[in-house]
Amino acid sequence: MTNDSMQEPKPAAPASEPAPASIAESSLDSASTSEPAPESPSGPPEPAAEEPAASFADVLRDFERTHSHHAETGAKQLEGTVVSLSADQVFLDIGYKIEGVLPRSAFPNTAEGVKPGDVVPVSITGRNEEGYYQLSRFRVAQPRDWSALEAAFRDKLAVVGTVTAVIKGGLSVDVGVRAFMPASRSGTHDAAEMEALVGQQISCRITKLDVTDEDVVVDRRIVLEEQARGQLEARRAALQAGDTITGTVRTLMPYGAFVDLGGIDGLLHVSDMSWSRVHKPEDLLSVGQQIQVRILKIDPGSKKISLGLKQLQPEPWQTVPERYQPGQRISGAVTRLTDFGAFVEVEPGVEGLIHISEMSWAKKVRHPSDLLKLGDRVDAVILAIKPPTQAEAGRISLGLKQTLADPWLEVQRKFPTGSHISGPVTKLMNFGAFVEIAEGVEGLVHISEIAADRRLHHPSDALRVGQVVQAQVLAIDPEKRQIKLSMKQLIPTSIDEYIAEHKAGDQVTGRVVELSSTSAVVELGEGIRATSRIQSGSKPAATPDSKSAAASGLSDLTSMLQARWKGATPAASAQPEPLAEGQIRTFKIAKLNTESKTIEVELA
């Protein structure tokens, strides 16, 4: 519209239509109830000044003053005072009419220790949809000329820019001058996220600056990564051993679970998941599950964090000695089998060991799997309890066989010394053979007690495993749980037949084969020998040489046979001739012992 057109008079209203009341007239009418306006001599009174125009001017002046202040202080960090906190943001007074906001994640431990009144250094990076200033705890510059850009480039400072458009290969960003941001350095994952950045204020870093060609390249991704690292380090620094925090299970491995603690991973080892034995982490946890854990250790060198889940529960072993005593009977499930025994869960977190030697009275257990398998529920008796110490874990010794009757308690009554038993050969050793005489009771037949008529080099020369044999009990040791057996004692011999055919008082003939000052050994037949006591005061005859002894023995035997043939008897008053080795004399059986198979004789 031109000035001429603006000065053209408006056409008069038709006479038939009433002229509209002017604004001044309506104002006068509205003000007639108050103080009347003075009339102008040349016409109607002037209209009053419009208040809305004056208010807008004030607002405009405030806006310009605020933004001028912003431009002056944007290049340096501001002091923000915390005024309030929400579930995910912290609101700060930065000296402007509108407050600034920081995410809670920008503070250590998600701003748990932050309270109103705390002062925080911040920089303005933009405005959010609600109108609040977006803040950063990193220093951000807002350059206004090439010298400021050069300073930011030299000092590697982050600068504030506005994304103006999506162009080929990236984004166009206004940082005071037009700059290019490659798509790979935008910090976005797809085209939709790049489009969403248009019109947004961002923080970025100048990676290339050519003043002559006015060529500027900026990088947003490196700033985001630095901010993330800074927040991560702040959060890591706030973590301490002993803290209890909430995390999310990120990955499950055979040896444990990795838990996300807000951008920081900690390892929850399988041994620290439960006081009970956990075979696989999947049995207790799942990916994405939120759990409370305790920080056990933070390695200052590798910065690895060890976590514990079971440490949030009381340790069962603390009260085990109070709740369990030796001799108490318990019931539990078999959790592990080893070469030396089986572990049984007495209660969650408390295991006891049944040693292989405490599994059975009846048989020799070579491996626990001979009697038990994983998952079996068994009854056992507590044999001993060893409370835990700082150096060693607690231990409970259990017995399985103690829940059954001990067969050795009846051994002496059922199998007294001298009794005969019958049983299979269970094992052959170099020194003898083991024979089962009852369930859970074995006796040993020494190799010297197997055969009477020959010398054995090994028990397998006469016996085999499983062969049923008969034996005589020689001795029992209940404390050592040993029984000595003999097989040869039950084999009939010539001396058995001789003892069976004679009795005490019978006269027999024998040859003196050994002689001492107190006794003589007399041979009554092949393999049959007796002992004869020499009366005190008598002296054995001098030992003749072999020829004279043979002649004397033959002469004595001839004279004795002739006397018997003729019915003659020696004179009663004659003194018996002293014994001498090689003599054949007449003896009278004084004693026969069937058990020990011994014979005692005396001169007739």
Q: What is the pLDDT of residue 575?
A: 61
Q: Is the pLDDT of residue 213 over 80?
A: yes
Q: How confident is the model at residue 132 (pLDDT cuts 50, 70, 90)?
A: confident
Report the distance separating Cα 134 and Cα 419, nearest Å.
103
HSE toward the beta carbon, residue 114, CA cutoff 13 A: 26
Work out whether strand 170-174 and strand 140-141 pair parallel, antiparallel, or are unpaired: unpaired
Q: What is the pLDDT of residue 526?
A: 76
Q: What is the pLDDT of residue 135?
A: 84
Q: Is the pLDDT of residue 204 over 60?
A: yes
- Render the burial of 244-279: b for 16+ CB within 10 Å, e for the rest: ebebebeebeeebbbbebbebebbbbbebbebbebe
Q: What is the pLDDT of residue 181?
A: 94
Q: What is the pLDDT of residue 287?
A: 93
> How many C-beta neighbours within 10 Å does residue 486 have?
19
pLDDT top residue among 143 and 574: 143
If residue 172 lies in a helix (H) or strand (E), which one and from where to where?
Answer: strand 170-174
Tokens in use for 40? 């102008």
Q: What is the pLDDT of residue 74?
A: 41
User: What residue ranges define each of the domains in the chain, with the CATH number in brackets?
Assistant: 78-227 (2.40.50.140), 239-312 (2.40.50.140), 322-402 (2.40.50.140), 407-490 (2.40.50.140), 495-603 (2.40.50.140)
DSSP 203-269: EEEEEEEETTTTEEEEESHHHHHHHHHHHHHHHHHH--TT-EEEEEEEEEETTEEEEESSS-EEEEE
pLDDT top residue among 439 and 245: 245
> How many C-beta neighbours within 10 Å does residue 551 have?
12
Work out whether strand 441-446 and strand 482-486 pair parallel, antiparallel, or are unpaired: parallel
> How many C-beta neighbours within 10 Å does residue 422 have?
10
Lowest mean pLDDT across 85-99, 119-133, 205-219: 119-133
Work out whether strand 377-386 and strand 329-337 pair parallel, antiparallel, or are unpaired: antiparallel
Q: What is the pLDDT of residue 63?
A: 43
- Please give the average per-residue pLDDT across 78-105, as a whole number: 90
Q: What is the pLDDT of residue 537?
A: 52
Q: What is the pLDDT of residue 205?
A: 92
Q: What is the pLDDT of residue 545?
A: 52
- The 10s digit of each residue's pLDDT in 16-63 is 333 333 333 333 333 333 334 444 334 444 444 443 434 444 544 454
- Please give the average per-residue pLDDT across 436-448, as a whole number: 89
Work out whether strand 140-141 and strand 158-167 pair parallel, antiparallel, or are unpaired: parallel
DSSP 522-584: EEEETTEEEEEEPPTT--PPP---HHHHHHHHHHHHHHHHHHHHHT----TTSPPPPP-TT-E
Whole-number percent of the chain with pLDDT over 70: 79
Q: What is the pLDDT of residue 10?
A: 38
- Please give the average per-residue pLDDT across 459-469, as a whole number: 92
Q: Is the pLDDT of residue 319 over 90?
A: no
3-state secondary structure at position 512: strand
- Please give the average per-residue pLDDT across 531-559, as a whole number: 58
Q: What is the pLDDT of residue 398?
A: 94
Q: Is the pLDDT of residue 303 over 90?
A: no
> How many C-beta neighbours within 10 Å does residue 153 have?
19
Q: What is the pLDDT of residue 72?
A: 39
Lowest mean pLDDT across 9-13, 123-127, 592-596: 9-13
Q: What is the pLDDT of residue 122?
A: 85
The 3 state secondary structure assigned to 324-348 is CCCCCEEEEEEEEECCCEEEEEEEC
- Please give the average per-residue pLDDT across 297-316, as a whole number: 88
- Please give the average per-residue pLDDT across 209-230, as a whole number: 88
Report the distance separating Cα 192 and Cα 188, nearest Å.
9
- Please give the average per-residue pLDDT across 290-319, as a whole number: 88
- Please give the average per-residue pLDDT across 422-430, as a whole number: 92
Closest CA to 100 of 115, 121, 75: 121
Q: Is the pLDDT of residue 219 over 50?
A: yes
Can you give the C-alpha Rg of the chain in angstroms? 58
Mean pLDDT of the chain: 79
Whole-number percent of the chain with pLDDT over 90: 27
> How many C-beta neighbours within 10 Å does residue 169 have?
10
CA angle 283, 239, 285 (to 5 degrees): 10
Q: Where are the alpha helices (DSSP H) in 51-183?
A: 51-73, 146-155
- The 10s digit of each residue's pLDDT in 148-198 is 888 889 988 888 888 988 999 999 998 888 899 999 999 888 889 989 888
Instruction: Phi first, then psi: give them for residue 69, nearest 5 degrees.
Output: -65, -40
Lowest mean pLDDT across 230-244, 350-364, 529-543: 529-543
Report the distance separating Cα 418 and Cα 425, nearest Å.
20
Highest-pLDDT range among 70-79, 121-130, 425-434, 526-535: 425-434
Q: How confident is the model at residue 302 (pLDDT cuts 50, 70, 90)?
A: confident
> How many C-beta neighbours within 10 Å does residue 17 have?
7
Q: Are 198 and 204 in contact (CB under 8 A)?
A: no
